[in-house]
Chains A and B, each alone.
Chain A
Amino acid sequence: MRLLLALAPLVSAAACAPGAADDPSRVEVGIVFDIGGKDDRSFNAAAWAGVKCAETGFLPDGRTSCGRPPLGIVLRDVEPGTPTSIEPAMRAFAERHYDLIIGVGFAQGPIMEVVARDYPDVRFAIIDGVIFEDDGKTPKKNVASLVFNEHEGSYLVGVIAAKTSRTQTLGFVGGMDIPLIRRFAKGYEEGARSVNPDIRVIENYVGVTDAAWNNPGKGKELSMAQIGRGADVIFAAAGNSGLGAFDAVEQAGTENGRARRFVIGVDSNQNGVKPGFVLTSMIKRVDTAVYDIVKKVVDGGFTGGFHVFGLEGDGVGYVVDEYNRDLVSPEAIAAAEEARTKIVAGEITVTDAMAQ
């Protein structure tokens, strides 16, 4: 029994970073992931791809070049098993004076706010969160807040979904019910309505706690219920739970060689997860954003405050590649491109559910 109890902390410790890097001449970067973990094939995976690229010049598989030069950094990562282990991990990096500490996900915002106040000389970056000084207005100067205009990218996939749907019924499966995910939902719905004002959008959430990111079984059930109501394109913004939606559309099968139901991936390019069933992916270039902020630290050009990534500069967007080229009609792509131009030009304003 004692052995068992002794093992438990060992196992969780094994996932943590080993001792600090010794080489003071190299830039040390620490990254703390969200509960989903770095192989959620989605949001965290994109952040991991960004730092891995900065470290090695390769994608996490270690074989494919990421198309950018390695930056010679020392990289340490932590995957917290529970929300309570985020803060100690972040403090451990700060205590060792890492050159940059990256927090992945909105949930780390309040934690980083406290830690960044305690270590004003350490540079931080947070993805999907914004951190202010104590006055609540000025952005904190040792924290770079990397935020994405998800509503704009979601609008474009909403257009594609509405152009593709034969039933004119769409599904949306969100992970945890939080304002950030509502932002995806709202943009998606507006995009779809711009094509057909009467289109039906069924909006579901896996849960209201962080376990909602890791429940593919429930994600699948929600998707199956949506399919039962006629939804034929489902946008899954739910981390690992979203993979359940992929299973659900695959199970719905094919007709004359074409899938009967489609799923839209999120954050990373998920077109290859179930080829033939993934209509497109709403990507957030978390990888690029992370790489760039690391590069700024290496080059000495780090600045705190807000870094916003939108349609302009391809911070968000949709993917057409060899997996889905035959699934999306040229007409749908033309409509999405037109919408992109109008949003960038300011002719269309997509509602930002987080700003409400």
Chain B
Amino acid sequence: MSEIFTLALVFSTIRLATPLVWAAIGGLYSERSGVINVALEGLMLAGAFTAAAVTFYAGSWFIGLIAAVMAGALTAAVLAVACIRFGANEVVAGTAINILFLGLPAVLSGALFLSSGSTPQIPQENLIPAFADVSVLSVLALAVTLATWYVLYRTPFGLRLRAVGENPEAADAAGVRVQRIRYAGVIISGILAAVGGAYLSVGQSSLFTRNMAAGRGFIALAALIFGKWRPVPTMLACLLFGFADAVTIQMQGVAKLPSGEDVPVQFVQMIPYVVTIVVLAGFIGQSRAPGALGVPYVKER
């Protein structure tokens, strides 16, 4: 056991939780404004691919990150227009974005790099810097979480965001421009999820590969629900999922059965999923979604 619970486990947890925190906090802005965001996975992929491709050409992770943010904002804007302007079903529209980004990076990388879904490897010195194995983006993730708490509960924008997500009619009557706030919420979610994606490709790894988000967008969504749509609990939920993942990594090939044999890999790898189910089904108690989540708002004339 002492070989599993080490300082390395703490760092590993932080590294694995970082993309989840960015995506989940992003999703929070969208969902708090009343727009379901199942597109986090696609938004992460958009950010990951753009960051890797631009960093490769520009030779600077910072430019890559800026480009990823723009790609995330643009993709989210498409989602926002579909859902807010045209009242599309938010789950369907989000799923469409996810499917789109399974294929689009393959097409683009074919055009740019003559490959089919991955970018060339980026030299270590051009990647997002890390100190003692902890990326700059991990530290910023904490800052963004705290900033989100402040914005949500201490600023007029946060009040409006929450009001629009709970009861758009009342907010509208009070003079809040519901659709504008929702656009802002969705686009912010795209920006933050794209940063999480950029961390995957040019922070944690050194290239983009097809579908490299590998379900992290959905885990982030689960963390958001587990965190009851509040910033700090959401971050803690991400850390829990990161921890479960890190434990499986540290345990593999180390944990022994009483008989002296290795614990089967399949059993170890089950842990994150069991944690997800147990946590979502049993331990969170009442988790109430924003009142108007998933309900398009049509202003009465």
Contacts and interface: CB of A to CB of B under 8 A. Distances in A.
Interface of A: 1, 4-5, 7-8, 11-12, 14-15, 37-40, 60-61, 79, 81, 177, 202-205, 207-208, 211, 214-218, 220-222, 224-225, 228-229, 240, 243-244, 246-247, 250-251, 273-274
Residue from A202, A216, A222 whose CB has the most chain B CB atoms within 10 Å: A216
Contacts of A228: 6, 8
B276 interface: no
A11 B100 CA distance: 7
Given A81-B102, A211-B214, 12 more contacts: A1-B93, A11-B106, A15-B106, A39-B116, A81-B106, A204-B265, A205-B269, A217-B16, A217-B212, A224-B8, A240-B210, A247-B124
A325 B86 CA distance: 62
A84 B110 CA distance: 22
Interface in B209-247: 209-212, 214-215, 245-246
A90 to B, nearest CB: 18
A7 B94 CA distance: 14
B257 to A, nearest CB: 15
Contacts of A215: 212, 214
Contacts of B200: 217
Contacts of B16: 217, 221
Contact of A225 (B12, B209, B212): B12
Nearest to A253: B124
Contact of B211 (A1, A211, A218): A211
B212 A250 contact: no
A18 B270 CA distance: 41
A335 to B, nearest CB: 26
B208 to A, nearest CB: 9
Given A12-B103, A15-B107, A37 B117 contact: yes
Interface of B: 3, 6, 8, 12, 15-16, 19, 78, 82, 86, 88-89, 92-93, 96-97, 99-100, 102-104, 106-107, 114-118, 121, 124, 133, 200, 204-207, 209-212, 214-215, 245-246, 249-250, 252-254, 262, 265-266, 269
Nearest to B212: A214
Residue from A38, A39, A177, A214 whose CB has the most chain B CB atoms within 10 Å: A39
B121 A208 contact: no
B207 A216 contact: yes
A240 B214 contact: no
B206 A225 contact: no
B205 A243 contact: yes
B93 to A, nearest CB: 6
Nearest to B270: A208
A229 B115 CA distance: 36
